Amino acid sequence: MTTPAFPRELEHKIFELAAYSYPRSIPNIILVAHRVNIWIYPLLFRVIVLSSNVACSGPDSQAYPYSNPKQYMSIPAHILRAGLRGLCIRSSPCEATQYILSAASHVQDLYIASPLPIGPGPRSLFLSTLGKMPLKRLYCSLDHLFPTRNIDFMHPVFVHLTHLEIFSHTDTTNPAIHAGLAMIPNLTHLAFNDGGFIPFAGRLLETCKSLRVLVLLNDGEPLDSELDNNNTNSVLGAELDELRRDVRYVRMACSKYLADWRMGAMTGGGDYWERAEVFIEKRRAGEVDAGQYWIAEDESLNSA
């Protein structure tokens, strides 16, 4: 019998590192040996993008790793539970969504693109499921979680959150939202994809004591549109000037949003959050102009 070249523990770590670094190579990695299959197969499902849209085979495909959400229903729940850490739900049949959620007890990174097809039963049961996840990063419209708009910021879904992106469906001008955000105990990173919060940004930065990064994401439209789109120029002018001086504020474009999210969910870095952090540190260190708060799309991609 041939003596292994490496101890099994080290061999396990080597294949695991390869899988994390090149997730699309996992189907080939698990063919190396039976023991490698046992170690690495659950990592094929470390990040799942549920989408019923037709997916291409390139790096920007929507669905991942399977194009048909119902394919996951053939995977044993314990396999999904062992590997799944990042979940994006864009569109999916109700039964497939429910099956995935039933095995999502270790998910830390959750992206909900639209109201969920969760089927019959009270939404409180769905929220209860989310509350049992050790969520650290959440991307959603809060109205999709709390459709009555009575948002409970004391709900367990917020307890472990460090990163929160709020989609534009949420009424970001509502003072109750700002007060609620300050109640999230571990929140350090907050992002919006519209400028409705700008008149209240000073209050947010003052009351959210742990906040280190505040991001406004957009598609690269001109900077002055922050004023034009909100139709409150007289108020926004002073607020925006104050916001520009706060080093925690970053405005940036992110056109390849899903690929960006998937990178962060898979590796814990390389996404827009990390690029914002790097930019803020450069601003603090005087490596960029103190008044510069905008990261253009090409700069974001180059710093990834």
Report the helix count and the strand count for the chain, using DSSP H and E: 14, 9
Q: What is the pLDDT of residues 92-142, one digit of tens each?
A: 778 888 899 989 999 999 999 877 655 555 566 778 889 999 999 999 988
Predicted local confidence at residue 227, as pLDDT: 44
Instruction: Give the whole-angstrom CA distance, residue 55 versus residue 283.
Output: 40
Provide the residue type at 186 as one letter. N
With 0-12 / 13-18 / 19 or more C-beta atoms within 10 angstroms meaning exposed / middle / buried, residue 107 is buried
Angle of helix 272-284 versus helix 257-267 axis, rounded to 10: 80
Predicted local confidence at residue 231, as pLDDT: 44
Provide the residue type at 220 as one letter. G
Do 211 and 188 meet the contact criterion of CB atoms below 8 Å apart? yes
110's CB contacts (< 8 A; 6+ apart) are: 86, 87, 88, 130, 133, 135, 137, 138, 139, 140
Predicted local confidence at residue 232, as pLDDT: 47
Q: How far apart are the first and last CA of the chain?
A: 46
Predicted local confidence at residue 3, as pLDDT: 62
Predicted local confidence at residue 223, as pLDDT: 47
Instruction: Give the whole-angstrom CA distance, residue 262 versus residue 265.
Output: 5
Predicted local confidence at residue 243, as pLDDT: 84
Predicted local confidence at residue 95, as pLDDT: 83
Predicted local confidence at residue 50, as pLDDT: 87
Predicted local confidence at residue 54, as pLDDT: 47
Query: 43: helix, coil or strand?
Result: helix
Predicted local confidence at residue 134, as pLDDT: 96
Predicted local confidence at residue 97, as pLDDT: 85
User: Which portions of the chain are predicted below pLDDT 50?
Assistant: 1, 54-60, 222-232, 299-304
Neighbour order of strands in the sheet with 86-89 = 47-50, 86-89, 109-112, 137-140, 163-166, 189-192, 213-218, 249-253, 294-295
Instruction: Give the whole-angstrom CA distance, residue 183 versus residue 209.
Output: 10
